[in-house]
Structure 1
């Protein structure tokens, strides 16, 4: 069993909760709770860690083979996406076999999520039959499984096999990508990534120039390939069947000028891509170096935007840069640059029809003090940014976070109140008082450590979950 930890509920001051309309067109995945039959848990169904869905979660026994199993229904045979929501307060990853209809089909690893109340989602691709199927997670070490909350299951119907080239409709891009170059798409801002499903025994990626690249195969832990360019092999010797890959890059910052130019996937002979479903929700995070996750080496995936997005099972991206402000005064002012594909764009060039965020989280104000922005100027600028975000994303819930250094707090509240009074019922102020310990959770006087980011995500994700 895991070590127990307590959860302190986060506070949000907001207008009345207005639920987002159901997503049109594509059906949402089906959720199967770990505590509900015919699911089985080789352990206990517990309720002592906040943030779980339904009436409990599976706390598996600490033993090899102490499995959690779900019975799912597929409308047709084919490749299915399985999203596993879990929490692990340990620092040691917990490996497990993935067992479908009684046969081991692959292996996966559940990394630590920071605390037992911090939930994340692991996404796998498996082959299923039409009708009833069983999907089991069987630990391969005496540490057992993490706590398992539920799985979300979906068979991707329709679509065609793809080539892995840039314009392959099976590749799913998250973030602001410049697609003007037909040979290489370039990631703008920070926290962008590409998801894909493929067949074949190997997978690689084409890179234009040198970059620090991170990737994950079959939902495993994210790994780095530093300073790589050209044709980069990510994995070989993969088992027969379908696999998933996620690829992302370190953002340009300071003296680091890596080229986040993605040239498509390199598939094995006979390999193809397959359709992959996008999550129903996409959360965009607007901010500065804190949102980016600087100066932590494993940003963006140790930063609170990535952690919170993964905990929600949502797509996520960042419109953020170190040193950014709210107001454009000798710095990148997000009230203006929010409308651009990157901080290096010279015009408002971003096309908001490319994707629609269902949630937008703003964390700005830490840097404006150093640029002489008055309280009145900040409040006015914040109202302008909220108005522009609303025009860009008519149906999104917008969350204005209190800065962790408590700068411009009344002005941020007042800007939210002004928009609420103007009739926008989906704008919320997020009170972050007490979320982190400024003595132990920072790497310097300003920036959270990975532990600090985990604490922020733990408090933020349940707030977002109320509305998305």
Structure 2
């Protein structure tokens, strides 16, 4: 059922489309059907939406016929790279690099809102597109069969949203930047700047991006003599400029300068937040980078691998004051040159219990620990490895060994559904709880044919007397020991 606000939004859009059609015929020369000669056949492009800053990509990196095109955060992965192949008559086929298939209006539809999918090239006019350059350097992309424009459906700003066709309107939702892969493009540092790279689970909140769970961060390359960050309310923010050791700005808000007096040339910056948890209610909201006058962002490489760590307070790094960057997940990711994040919460269990324990088998599917539904879109990014460290807390909430084993199998199945190609590592917890059940759950999945699931025996990794604060939570030195054991295990597979 559609809400009334959605209904009115769609009605207004129909009105706008009708007005747009009138403008096409009268005062918008940019909508004239003249294909641009500025597109270079053979060049691979990211197709970036002017309204959202997101790019066109094929869902889940699928190579299947009919896989949907979506709006995604730019990573320059091959499912986000397209080239324009001359189809004759001033039209192009738009070919996806990862699959060799072309963008296609589903079922040759001429309806507003029809999905854009990939399909093997067959010469159909629903696979042919006119590319019209606009005065501002953006492009309108029009389907030959329907005469309608490639469109960001409903003006979305969230990764995973639909790409459709719609009556030509001349609006920003139908304007696209064609960015040659590898070419440096100047950006403004705003949250929708396609040069920014987000790691972990970030949600759109108006003009802000909020960090869900722990260990999320944002990176950018930039020019200019200063760099700052825009914050909404009070938070502890850590940062690194040009790869220097991470530092803190504690209890800050507003526009915060991180570095000044920088030399001429290109620099890098990373920022992240202390996680919102327990009595700490800081606001982990990112409003973009603050650049010097004349400064700009430029593209920054994103690692080929991404590791997601799922767990409880040990995975968060609590109670250590410099978490997350002293915790074993962060150390492992950095050592392997991989992107990384921690989907973890202090006190979490594997199994959701009647007395209120966060069951990560369920909460794993959410954008943060403070939402009430399964809202995370796993097409936002794909992990190449997932490390699970759960079972320390379930004993205190009455979870039986039978229930733990059964639900661990479910957890592994859900992770596989979310990340079809990832290697999954199930760690035996350091307190030696449910280790047999964890191992057996892994074997169940292997027997079912999932050969990318691995049990990690952590026996002897942590000495409670010397490596923990309280017989449970590792010290910084304890985290380094764990990381040193885990790094070579994961390195075998990614």
For residue 426 of structure 1, the aligned residue among 412, 431, 452 is 452
Match of residue 163 from structure 1: 188
Match of residue 301 from structure 1: 325
Mapping for residues 148-227 of structure 1, pairs under 5 Å: 157-179=182-204, 181-227=205-251
For residue 385 of structure 2, the aligned residue among 349, 359, 364 is 359
Shift >6 Å, 4+ stretches? none
Q: CA deviation at 1:382?
A: 0.3
Match of residue 396 from structure 1: 422
TM-score by structure 1 length? Answer: 0.67
Query: Which structure would you say has the larger RCO, counting Cα contacts within 8 Å and 6 or more residues apart?
Result: 1
Q: Distance in 2 between matches of 1:341 and 1:457?
A: 26
Given the alignment of the two structures, is residue 281 of structure 1 paired with residue 305 of structure 2, yes or no? yes
Match of residue 346 from structure 1: 372
TM-score by structure 2 length? Answer: 0.63
Residue 385 of structure 1 aligns to a residue whose secondary structure is: helix
Mapping for residues 247-262 of structure 1, pairs under 5 Å: 247-262=271-286
Q: Deviations over 1:163-212 (max 9, x none)?
A: 00000000000000001x23110000000000100000000010000000
Q: Distance in 1 between matches of 2:219 and 2:271?
A: 7
Residue 456 of structure 2 aligns to a residue whose secondary structure is: strand
Residue 439 of structure 1 aligns to a residue whose secondary structure is: helix
Q: CA RMSD in A?
A: 1.7
Residue 492 of structure 2 aligns to a residue whose secondary structure is: helix
Q: CA deviation at 1:306?
A: 0.1
Q: CA deviation at 1:437?
A: 1.5
Given the alignment of the two structures, is residue 449 of structure 1 paired with residue 437 of structure 2, yes or no? no
Q: CA deviation at 1:216?
A: 0.3
Residue 224 of structure 1 aligns to a residue whose secondary structure is: strand
Q: Deviations over 1:305-351 (max 9, x none)?
A: 00000000000001000000000002110010000001111111000
Q: Deviations over 1:15-69 (max 9, x none)?
A: xxxxxx9x96299xxxxxxxxxxxxxxxxxxxxxxxxxxxxxxxxxxxxxxxxxx
Whether the 8 Å contact between 2:222 and 2:267 is mirrored in structure 1 is yes
Whether the 8 Å contact between 2:464 and 2:470 is mirrored in structure 1 is no
Match of residue 310 from structure 1: 334
Q: Distance in 1 between matches of 2:398 and 2:296?
A: 55
Q: Distance in 1 between matches of 2:421 and 2:467?
A: 35
Match of residue 25 from structure 1: 78
Given the alignment of the two structures, is residue 272 of structure 1 paired with residue 299 of structure 2, yes or no? no
Q: Distance in 2 between matches of 1:386 and 1:333?
A: 14
Q: Distance in 2 between matches of 1:408 and 1:202?
A: 51
Q: Distance in 2 between matches of 1:464 and 1:318?
A: 16
Q: CA deviation at 1:159?
A: 4.3
Q: Deviations over 1:93-129 (max 9, x none)?
A: xxxxxxxxxxxxxxxxxxxxxxxxxxxxxxxxxxxxx
Given the alignment of the two structures, is residue 380 of structure 1 paired with residue 406 of structure 2, yes or no? yes
- The structure-2 alpha-carbon separation of the partners of 1:211 and 1:24, relative to structure 1 and needing over 3 Å to count, comes to closer
Residue 464 of structure 1 aligns to a residue whose secondary structure is: helix
Query: Which structure would you say has the larger Rg?
Result: 2
Q: Deviations over 1:415-443 (max 9, x none)?
A: 00000011100000000111121110001
For residue 358 of structure 2, the aligned residue among 311, 326, 332 is 332
Given the alignment of the two structures, is residue 320 of structure 1 paired with residue 344 of structure 2, yes or no? yes
Q: Distance in 1 between matches of 2:363 and 2:79?
A: 32
Q: Distance in 2 between matches of 1:24 and 1:336?
A: 29
- The structure-2 alpha-carbon separation of the partners of 1:436 and 1:403, relative to structure 1 and needing over 3 Å to count, comes to same
